[in-house]
Structure 1
Amino acid sequence: MIDIRFGPQVCGELSAAAGREWLVTDGLGGYATGTVAGLRTRRYHGLLVVPGRTPASRKVGLVSLDPAVTLPSGRQVRLGAHEWSSGVVDPRGFELLERFDLTDGVPRWRWRIGDVVIEREIAMTYGRSCVAVVHRLVSGGPVRLDLAAACTWRDAHGERRADGPAPRLEPAAGGAIVDGAFRLAGPDWTPEGQWWLGVRHRVEATRGLSPDEDLWYAGRFSGALDTPGATVTVLAWADDLAEEPPPATAVVEATRRRNRAVVAAAKPDDAVSATLALAADAFVVRTATGPDVVAGYPWFGAWSRDTMISYEGLFLCTNRADEGRELLRAYAGTLSAGMLANTADTGRVEHNTVDATLWFLHAVSRHVTVTGDTDLGDELLPALHGVVEAHVAGTRYGIGVDPADGLLTQGGPPDVALTWMDARVYGVPVTPRTGKPVEVNALWINGLAGLAELTELAGRDATALWDLHGRATGAFRERFPAPAGWLHDVVDAPAPAYPLGGAPHHDDDLLRPNQLLAWSLPYAPLEPDEVTLRRLTEALFTPLGPRSLAPDSPGFTGRHRGGPAERDSAYHQGTVWPWLTGPLLDAYRKAGLPTADLLVGLEGHLVEDGLGSVSETADGAAPHAATGCPFQAWSVAELLRARRARR
């Protein structure tokens, strides 16, 4: 894997160290995450964040363990870091860091106080909501280490304050149970019980969200570090509170072994692919219904569109086809009226996307093609034929095949956005794309061809599918090329001067990256040409991937910043999306163009934001600072898949 380590110049500079985030996961959708500096900059940062009924319904439990070292002289040095509502950062333990590294997916900090050197490592028990924190004396001593446990128990998307009830503490062996929800265990526990008022999260302030919360100082652990190699360890867990996990040092070593095995199983061809294979593992989780995919950390749960776009990278490029098979079968069970369920993150299952189902067709086709698993193709064939039949007949939100040309159209109520460009502001879609979107029809044509091949592999006649595919392909080639020299983003869209469903239509030629799928998919309707691709690259490409809108287009927004409405307004109006680098590279390869230079920025990004991972989005304007989730499934998956395709 790539070498991820920082010395005192990065660790001691708050803006640099607090802008780099680490993540360890439990395989269930829970996690521990924070910054190199140790400063919590998000409401989501914590050492024990526990999944609920869905991966997105998480609770924050153990927030931090703040170390304080008592030297032989009696002087106490605090190694934690907190920012307060006053803007003061105190303590400032990051200034004593001489190194941070992420080795085999385990974060490690190294503080130096004169001749005393102490390291901390954090890992989670795979398959349990349990975090292990190990402190080890490397040199110097003897010293005493106190660890102040700051706690809460609240929804990961919110805050908890001192004007409400304090968390309940119940004594338990080696520590306490907090709010009946999670347990702490370590050496020499001393209960305290007081509020720390006005802890500030600076990133939430920039996102226009409430930046402050109050934390409950539950108590402290204490232990002696007499000689090098001595440890002080703490465990926190939220499942089966009566059953103690393995020792913390064993959890760390088990995590290292498992992470090495995950990477080895993926058979990476270089250090970057190895790093991406381990990053991919964080998104594959086990729920009550089987394998699933977390779309992004720290706030997303499972979204079928993200899952299916990510499928090949997360499962087929990492040799997890058995888990992938189980996932595809489970998702097939969510089909309703030919549509795949979109998400249950909102608390209920929703079927409100035009493209997730088409990505599902693609994922099944790729699974069978790559693995030779025709049994799965045969098993899912009735469901896949049902998808096409429902789309031909017409299904929810006006999604259906236009009998005039065989292309897929969509256009539901005016408050619905059905494509992946689905942001809404005050209930109004920013980019509704009603009509016949270019990538939706590329996926439709690709899906018809893939299904036709699966049908023939099963020994059945696929003539009707090929006929529908041929009609749609011919219409696509006639309708989508625009006079500007690229493809229309949407054809047969309602004219702006008319309400949804009005008779006049227009073709939208705004320069967006959606058209890349018209060249990149295995059964794409068009062959790419060098002139068009270079024109798109010149207008859209940045070091972190393509912009969602060309800078000279009306409505372009170069910064994905501000409060929720501002960010959602910019989400697909110029913001960079790293996942689109995958389709761009595929199109380049089909055109016989070199691709290596397109990956330099994203590969460098692996040590810039979410360490060892790829962000969700970035500013459309230079210097293209990362935004959104620092750990995003389809960003990682598409970079991994696109690099693997070089073989």
Structure 2
Amino acid sequence: MLPIEFGPRVCGHLASATDREWLVPDGLGGYAMGTVGGLRTRRYHGLLVVAGPTPAARRLALVSLDPELTLPSGATVRLGAHEWRSDVVDPRGFELLERFDLTDGLPRWRWRVGDLVVERELAMAYGRSCLAVRHRLVSGGPARLGLAAVVTWRDAHGERRADGPPPVIEPVAGGAVVEGAFRLAGPDWSPEGRWWYGVHHREEAARGLTPEEDLWYAGRFAGALDKPGDTVSVLAWAGDPDALAVEPPPAGEVIEAARRRNRRVVAAARPADQVAATLALAADAFVIRPGGPGPAADTPAGAAPDVVAGYPWFGAWSRDTMISYEGLFLATNRADEGRELLRAYAATLSDGMLANTADTGRVEYNTVDGTLWFLHAVARHVAVAGDTDLAAELLPALRDVVDHHLRGTGRYGIGVDPADGLLAQGAAGEALTWMDARVDGEPVTQRAGKPVEVNALWINGLAAVAELAGLVGQDPGPVPAARDRARESFRRRFPAPAGWLHDVVDAPAPAYPRGAADRHDDDLLRPNQLLAWSLPYAPLEPDPAVLARIGAALLTPLGPRSLAPDSPGFVARHRGGPADRDSGYHQGTVWPWLIGPYADAARAAGPAGAELPALFTGLEAHLVEFGLGSVSETADGAAPHAATGAPFQAWSVAELLRVRGR
């Protein structure tokens, strides 16, 4: 894998150390997450974040374990870091860091105090909500290490304040149980019990959200570091009373098991180079089995596999899952798990539409493209894995999808227009494509009518269903005729006088006031049209000259912009409060996942495909810039294209992994 390591110049500089974040997932949707310097900059940062009944219903448990060294002279040295509402950062333990590295996906810190060097490592027990933290004396000594356990028990999306009751702490052998939900265990536990007021999260302040909370100092572990090799370790784990009663394996075993598993994940993917190896491990973070905990093994117990769209705040979304499918499962040789996932998602089909399981936990049917991406994912699975049994099993459901779309799904105006065979969609107040941001409940980019990528996906899906039917020896029925009609209409309707493709045709005029009285064909230059050339059964042959114009306007080092800079409404910076960010979400913001469609279109265009490796240079360098070893959700549309959004995003990783491997 790529070497990810930083010395004192990065670790000891506050801005540099907090711009870079690490993530250790538990395979259930929970995680440990923080910054290189140890300063918590988000409400979501913590050492034990516990998955709930849905992937997004997480709770923050163990906030931090703040190290403090007591030297033979009696002097104390604090190695933790916190920021307070006064804007003071105290303590500033990052200034004593001489090294941070991410090895086999696990973070490791080294602090130096003169000739004394202390190392910290941590890991999650895969398939169980369990954290292991180990401290080791590397050189020097003796010293005594204290570890202040700072806790809470709250929704990961919120905060907790001292004006409510403090967490309930129950003493048990070797530590404590907090709120009956999680347990701490380690050496020489001393209960404390007091509030720390006004902890500040600078990233939440920048995002226009509540930046402060109060935390509970529950108690302190301590142990001797007399000679090099001595260790002091702490475990923290969550679960029901029975699970809390059973102590996990020692911290060292948990850490070494995590290293071995991560190496197996990478080896199984058979990566071609260090970047591919890094991306294979990054992909693993998003593949979960909710409903654990299970044993600390390669496959946690629970439901069928699912996909977390992004960390730290997203849950499972069907559109993100299906766009990510090929990269996460097929490019990493996890087709068996993928098969389970596709079967589970097929069971959610209703009236020809795939459920979109939102972060709220409610099952909703509110995307026009999620189902079409599902058709694509099934077809790619069968093509890559040779899984004709799954093709035969799911074909009746896929035919039902086609039938419902041909006659209308009954939801949000989603259905084929009998006049031209193209797929139309749209309803007041709804945003059904992937450009689904809202401000005050109103869509920013509603795109009602016949969006270009939706119809490219529709034609691709029809062709895929016809191909699967032939593969298992079945009559495709009316599907080929529907495909041919839609493809002919697409080729006639979507080319725009501007020299690229319309983003939407037959859009209702109220949505586009500058248009005609009743209908309008929107020619804003957006990346959605890339799917018209990139899909396996794309409706158009790529025109190198058109792709060159699109690339010149949209391409950045981190992927295509969502709108050309000279277009009306372009937003250069994806910054500010929720309304500001959502207003610019698809109005020029860069989306790394779109590198996949761009690369496929460029490859299909012919000779220009030889230049493809140069497309990925910026994203490969990005692997050590923001979410370490991973790819961010978004970036600013204007240089220097600083990363924004979630630091770890499934479809960003999946699409880079997929197209680099072709």
With the length of structure 1 as denominator, give the TM-score of the two structures.
0.98
**Does 2:238 align with 1:251?**
no
Deviation of the 1:71 alpha carbon: 1.3
Match of 2:202 in 1: 202
Conserved 8 A contact 1:423-1:572? yes
Match of 2:17 in 1: 17
- Would the alpha carbon gap of residues 34 and 476 (structure 1) be closer, same or farther in structure 2, given more than 3 Å must change? same
Output the CA distance in 2 between the equivalents of 1:502 and 1:232.
72
**Does 2:68 align with 1:65?**
no
Output the CA distance in 2 between the equivalents of 1:113 and 1:313.
44
Match of 2:550 in 1: 536
Conserved 8 A contact 1:29-1:55? yes
Give the match's secondary structure for 1:91.
Answer: strand
Deviation of the 1:305 alpha carbon: 0.2
Amino acid at match of 1:256: R
Match of 1:399 in 2: 414
Give the match's secondary structure for 1:416.
Answer: coil
Deviations along 1:350-408, whole A, 9 cap, x unmatched?
A: 00000000000000000000000000000000100000000011011000001111110
Output the CA distance in 1 between the equivalents of 2:205 and 2:394.
47
Match of 2:286 in 1: 283
- Which of 261, 264, 281 matches 1:261? 264
Match of 2:487 in 1: 473
Conserved 8 A contact 1:494-1:502? no
Output the CA distance in 2 between the equivalents of 1:154 and 1:479.
52
Deviations along 1:182-201, whole A, 9 cap, x unmatched?
A: 00000000000000000000
- Would the alpha carbon gap of residues 442 and 498 (structure 1) be closer, same or farther in structure 2, given more than 3 Å must change? closer
Give the match's secondary structure for 1:595.
Answer: helix
Q: After the TM superposition, which parts of structure 1 deviate over 6 Å for at least 4 consecutive aligned residues?
A: none
- Which of 544, 552, 556 matches 2:570? 556
Conserved 8 A contact 2:67-2:147? yes
Give the match's secondary structure for 2:289.
Answer: strand
Match of 2:188 in 1: 188
Deviation of the 1:498 alpha carbon: 8.0
Match of 2:625 in 1: 608
Deviation of the 1:213 alpha carbon: 0.3
Question: Higher mean Cα deviation, 456-465 or 541-550?
Answer: 456-465
Deviations along 1:572-626, whole A, 9 cap, x unmatched?
A: 0000000000110001111121211111100000000000000000000111100
Structure 2 spans left out of the alignment, 5+ residues: 292-302
Give the match's secondary structure for 2:244.
Answer: coil
Output the CA distance in 2 between the equivalents of 1:528 and 1:7.
47
Deviations along 1:194-231, whole A, 9 cap, x unmatched?
A: 00000000000000000000000000000001111110
Amino acid at match of 1:599: F
Conserved 8 A contact 1:21-1:609? yes
Output the CA distance in 2 between the equivalents of 1:189 and 1:214.
22
Output the CA distance in 2 between the equivalents of 1:96 and 1:498.
57
Give the match's secondary structure for 2:528.
Answer: helix
Deviation of the 1:158 alpha carbon: 0.2
Question: Higher mean Cα deviation, 258-267 or 521-530?
Answer: 521-530
Amino acid at match of 1:598: L
Deviation of the 1:503 alpha carbon: 7.0
Superposition map of 1:618-637 within 5 A = 618-637=635-654
| Count of residue pairs the alignment pairs up | 643
Superposition map of 1:190-589 within 5 A = 190-239=190-239, 240-288=243-291, 289-395=303-409, 396-412=411-427, 414-496=428-510, 504-589=518-603
Amino acid at match of 2:463: A
Deviation of the 1:306 alpha carbon: 0.2
Match of 1:141 in 2: 141
Question: Identity rate of aligned residues, in percent?
Answer: 77
CA RMSD of aligned residues (A): 1.1
Output the CA distance in 2 between the equivalents of 1:170 and 1:297.
31
Amino acid at match of 2:627: G
Output the CA distance in 1 between the equivalents of 2:530 and 2:574.
22
Amino acid at match of 2:37: A
Give the match's secondary structure for 1:153.
Answer: strand
Output the CA distance in 2 between the equivalents of 1:336 and 1:449.
22
Deviations along 1:49-91, whole A, 9 cap, x unmatched?
A: 0011101000000000000011122111000000000000000
Conserved 8 A contact 1:54-1:344? no
- Would the alpha carbon gap of residues 185 and 554 (structure 1) be closer, same or farther in structure 2, given more than 3 Å must change? same
Conserved 8 A contact 1:498-1:504? no
- Would the alpha carbon gap of residues 466 and 198 (structure 1) be closer, same or farther in structure 2, given more than 3 Å must change? same
Amino acid at match of 2:206: T
Output the CA distance in 2 between the equivalents of 1:23 and 1:498.
42
Superposition map of 1:33-112 within 5 A = 33-112=33-112
